[in-house]
Amino acid sequence: MVYVHWIVILIYTVVVLGTLVSVLTDNRQPAKTMAWVLVLLFLPVIGIIFYFFFGRNTRKKRIISQQSLDRLSKRSMLEFVEQKNLVLPKQHISLINLFTNQNWALPFKDNHVDIYRDGYSFFPTLLSAIGKARHHIHLDTYIIEDDPIGRLVCDALIDKTREGVQVRIIYDDVGCWHVNSSFFERLREEGIEVHAFMPVKFPAFTGKINYRNHRKICVIDGHTGFIGGFNIALRYVKGKAHQPWRDTHFRISGGAVYGLQRAFLVDWYFVDRTLITDRAFYPPLNVEENNCIAQVVTGSPVSPWPDIMQGYVRILLEAKQYVYMETPYFLPTEPVLFAMRTAALTGVDVRLLVPLHNDSKFVEWASRSYVLQMVEAGVKVYFYKAGFNHSKLLVCDDSLSTCGSTNIDFRSFENNFEANIFFYDPSLALRVKQLFYDDLKESIPLNRVSNLRRRPFLQHLWESLVRLLSPLL
């Protein structure tokens, strides 16, 4: 028995030393490296488990070969080259180049956008678009529930499949943990191609659980696209926990749909290992010509760089007049925190709108210290009180706006597979700005939130302790 004891200790020591070498050779920020070294050294066993789930650097991994990615990008590249009279805005050319060079997010013009701010208007529009499909429907969502809304959407998809329309669905395995497998088997039996993204078969023993596909994309016939914050579930219509649900979703027709299509087909290759490059999925677009330019930008833990986060940092540091942001979860990474402080301190009108009451108490507690830190730098913080605000949007200087699945938190910027669309169009920026102003009418400034600044010491200490877990929330 003594020998077994020493063998176990030896094996554990080798594992810890190997993990320490891995942490050191990742060449992360020194503070993050030191934090993981301390966790591994002073939290026996627990430290190893934490690192396995949350600490491994996945940005060196490739889930798709460069050759396959090139083939999947070929069609969107051809459509990009064939654009006529494309004039890129000079004030945003550096941001456009950043996304193009790092993400192959090509800028497309001739876009027309409808905005939806609640489920009562969004889901009828989505169902109507599904009903008009003639060739294919591609749906990429984090959650699709077996509830009245989920069944209504799936029944519509089944009807189209019976008409000969190709239907492909990607759902996140963790996001749909509570959905019975029979719900998806019914779709498969009807001829719909359905895949779970990165299935987690043994949650207690796999690091996959930390890396989820949080995107919300739908492409219909290659000429109509949807992107934003809505998943497919009843709570996105009726709300949750006695709170109305506020969200933002875009319906797009025009060149940007090619970018949405590419994003979906890259995900599809990952889950199905099928390269779909047929021209039929990139049909000619019959839309009125305009210079509403858009880029569809994807972020993931396996991309070389945190693309969407870098975009947010660039926007904040280049802003001249204002940056208005909405996010349901505010747990910013250090670069975003730095950029917000810097922008505010240089005189830019930086405003942040978050829910007064979150759907996660831990997130609510952890975000308070960040929020108060922002106020000290001059950021104007507002709390939305008319329900739960799930919107993920940003507007800057009456010229740039973005919407998508990305929250301003560690998980979205570093761990999740996300997708946002960035528009360079003054008229659309003004529409998004009006959305923000409308939400402000249903909000209160931080200084009017009772007891937020004068919290008991133990509550303040608890919030600081929870903040340490921010990367895990």
Catalytic residues: 214, 216, 221, 390, 392, 397
417: enclosing H helix or E strand: none
207, 52 contact by CB (below 8 A): yes
391, 273 contact by CB (below 8 A): no
- 453 three-class SS: coil
Evaluated on CA atoms 267, 420, 289, 117, the torsion sign reads positive
Q: Tokens 């979906």 belong to which residue?
A: 264
Helix axes 256-272, 66-81, angle to 10 degrees: 160
Q: Torsion angle, CA of 294/335/143/196, rounded to 10 degrees?
A: 90
Structure tokens, 53: 């789930």
Q: Which of 195, 359, 173, 178 is nearest to 269 (CA)?
A: 195
Q: How far apart are CA 361 and CA 11, in angstroms?
A: 39
Strand pairing category for 293-299 and 249-253: unpaired
Per DSSP (E only), the strands in 224-365 are: 224-228, 245-246, 249-253, 293-299, 322-326, 330-331, 349-355
Q: How far apart are CA 211 and CA 419, in angstroms?
A: 14
Q: What is the DSSP string of 202-216?
A: -GGG-GGGG--B---
Q: Which of 244, 250, 398, 383 is nearest to 326 (CA)?
A: 383
288, 253 contact by CB (below 8 A): no
287, 142 contact by CB (below 8 A): no
Strand order in the sheet with 418-424: 293-299, 418-424, 400-404, 393-396, 322-326, 349-355, 380-384, 443-445
Helix axes 307-318, 93-103, angle to 10 degrees: 170
Q: Which of 458, 447, 317 is nearest to 372 (CA)?
A: 447
